Amino acid sequence: MEERCAQFQADAARPRDPVKTVKEIERLRKFLFKNQEYRFTDREQTHLFGAIQAHYAAHCELSETEREPALMLVDDALKMPFTVFTTSHKKTYLKWHAKLTGEGDKGQQRGAAAAGGGKPVTYTVYDLPEGGACLGLMTDEGDTLELQLAGPGACQPELLAQIRAAFEAGEDEVRITLNADRTTVTGLLGAKS
């Protein structure tokens, strides 16, 4: 079962192809529906969460009609029992659902106005390619950012090594902080399982 879950994550990480991606999302939705009574291990849950996260990230900035497959996937994930996804997964899915339906934009605008301009920003690492040229990051509200690491001072080598170690260890969530202008990694908040 773990191989199948890992394959869904690998498929979702490929570049978006309008036809193939919709079919992959549909296969993942059917898989979740058929196996909703199965007790997934933490590792299998992480693979499935990663697949849904990749599909969300690929669709969140598209037009409303192009977002529909990802919205249906996130909606189905929310309906799964807790043997499939944990409470923390479902909280994230709720934020993504709000973002995909446009409801999250209003709350995000209120939050940005209240946050002020000079505070560090917290992101979750969702992608760290092998070459390490960029970090795929996401806020709690579901906004994504690709931080290029090639620039001077983008991330200290020791800090990047710690982030990579936590990410490659399969931690459920690796959180970092960026400076206010979102160009430099300022710290690793730790990893949660």
Cβ partners under 8 Å of residue 160, min gap 6? 132, 149, 185
Of the two residues 69 and 151, the one the predictor is more confident about is 69
The answer to whether the predicted template modeling score (pTM) of the entire model surpasses 0.75 is no
pLDDT tens profile 167-188? 888 776 788 888 877 788 888 8
Binning pLDDT at 50, 70 and 90, where does residue 139 land?
confident
Rounded to 5°, the CA angle 180-182-162 comes to 110
- Listed ranges 44-48, 149-153, 154-158, 175-179; the one with the highest mean pLDDT: 44-48
- Listed ranges 27-31, 42-46, 101-105, 169-173; the one with the highest mean pLDDT: 27-31
Q: Which residue has the tokens 């978006």?
A: 16
Of the two residues 36 and 145, the one the predictor is more confident about is 36
